[in-house]
């Protein structure tokens, strides 16, 4: 049997992607075969598509090959229904509505995806497949980042990059934890940040948060567009800085946002601040925690726009160039 999938064999821009017929996977003993109804686009997807930064081709061999992506079909976040299960799977059965994150294996930009059962969770009732597909990676990153920082009720949090996928979840999860949230975003996203629960909003086109004189217990940086000194200067003396991804495509780079992480790792031994490089592995526990937050009404996925599967190249181009508000989702007919 075959299926439709987006494939890529060489690094390049969106023009390197193509819709093609490929063999449909079959589930192994502990796997689940999911009929994909929606898959979301993450910054990770354009990084893998372009092989950028170049250093990642040597430090992240699970996703990056030397000349092209390790898996010719990209995408990690998805939602759909169970088509078949392996012999050792007892948690799911055909027909169940699920969502998940396939991690380094990719494969979500397709009609079907095979994933280990422990990377899946039941799709929350009351939201669409598109909204469920927008949850896994971005939601788990926000959740893990705030947990790593030990965010508590009454603490002051600054989210740099508050309008993107991770940022929109970070605002909501932090507010549900009782933190005082300051969101940094552009003018067009100020209203959205406030609607999501931010107590304060810094419009970076009009104000520099690093020069405003305010201090925070936690800074969650999702952009990697500021110097480490700028991020540290707004922390309390024993505050925590969480670094997660970021960067934009600007013709290619050697280290990209990894440069900021490397500097933080070297400096962390000599300062009182906690400098955390966030590295999140997909797991069902995070997915279930996110599903509970959705069910409780504390978190709502924000979908900027949707694209059909055949237009995945345009969707990725939009994410890497247009500063998406929330998540961009691929709908699979």
- What pLDDT, on the 0 to 100 scale, is given for residue 95? 98
- Answer whether residue 282 shows pLDDT above 70: yes
Token pair for residue 170? 């970070």
Predicted confidence band at 278 (pLDDT cuts at 50, 70, 90)? very high
What is the per-residue pLDDT across 42-64, written as a single tens digit (0 to 9) for each?
Answer: 999 999 999 998 988 988 999 99
Q: Can you tell me the mean pLDDT for 166-178?
A: 98
Lowest-pLDDT range of 71-85, 114-128, 136-150, 312-326: 312-326
- What pLDDT, on the 0 to 100 scale, is given for residue 268? 85
Cβ-based neighbours of 191, under 8 Å, separated by 6 or more: none
CA separation for the pair 28, 49 (Å, rounded): 27
Q: pTM for the whole thing?
A: 0.95
Rounded to 10°, the helix 312-321/43-50 angle is: 100
- 66 conformational bin, left if phi > 0, alpha if psi -120 to 50, beta if neither: alpha
- In this structure, the number of other CB atoms found within 10 A of the CB of residue 81 comes to 16
- Domains of the chain (ranges; CATH) run 2-135+301-331 (3.90.180.10), 137-277 (3.40.50.720)
What is the per-residue pLDDT across 247-275, written as a single tens digit (0 to 9) for each?
Answer: 666 667 777 777 888 888 889 889 999 99
- In this structure, the number of other CB atoms found within 10 A of the CB of residue 147 comes to 15
- The DSSP code for 47 is H
- What pLDDT, on the 0 to 100 scale, is given for residue 202? 98
CA separation for the pair 333, 329 (Å, rounded): 13
CA separation for the pair 93, 111 (Å, rounded): 18
What is the per-residue pLDDT across 14-37, written as a single tens digit (0 to 9) for each?
Answer: 999 999 999 999 999 999 999 999
């Amino acid at each position: 049997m075959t299926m439709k999938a987006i494939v890529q064999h060489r690094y390049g821009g969106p023009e390197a992607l193509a819709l093609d017929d490929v063999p449909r996977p079959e589930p192994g003993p502990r796997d689940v075969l999911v009929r994909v109804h929606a898959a979301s686009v993450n910054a990770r997807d354009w990084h893998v598509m372009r092989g950028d930064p170049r250093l990642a081709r040597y430090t992240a061999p699970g996703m990056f090959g030397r000349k092209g992506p390790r898996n010719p079909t990209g995408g990690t976040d998805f939602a759909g229904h169970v088509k078949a299960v392996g012999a050792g799977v007892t948690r799911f059965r055909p027909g169940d509505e699920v969502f998940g994150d396939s991690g380094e294996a990719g494969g979500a930009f397709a009609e079907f995806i095979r994933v280990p059962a422990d990377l899946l969770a039941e799709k929350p009732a009351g939201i669409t497949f598109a909204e469920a597909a927008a949850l896994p990676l971005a939601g788990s990153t926000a959740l893990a980042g705030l947990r790593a920082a030990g965010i508590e009720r009454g603490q002051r949090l600054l989210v740099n990059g508050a309008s993107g996928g991770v940022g929109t979840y970070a605002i909501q999860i932090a507010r549900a934890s009782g933190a005082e949230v300051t969101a940094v975003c552009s003018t067009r996203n100020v209203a959205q940040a406030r609607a999501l629960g931010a107590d304060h909003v810094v419009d970076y086109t009009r104000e520099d948060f690093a020069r405003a004189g305010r201090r925070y217990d936690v800074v969650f940086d999702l952009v990697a567009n500021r110097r480490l000194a700028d991020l540290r200067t707004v922390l309390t003396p024993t505050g925590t800085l969480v670094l997660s991804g970021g960067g934009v495509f600007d013709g290619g780079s050697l280290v990209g946002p990894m440069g900021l992480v490397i500097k933080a790792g070297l400096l962390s031994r000599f300062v009182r601040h906690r400098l955390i490089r966030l590295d999140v592995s997909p797991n069902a526990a995070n997915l279930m925690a996110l599903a509970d937050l959705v069910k409780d009404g504390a978190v709502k996925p924000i979908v900027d726009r949707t694209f059909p599967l055949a237009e995945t190249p345009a969707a990725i181009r939009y994410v890497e160039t247009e500063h998406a508000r929330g998540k961009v989702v691929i709908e699979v007919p």
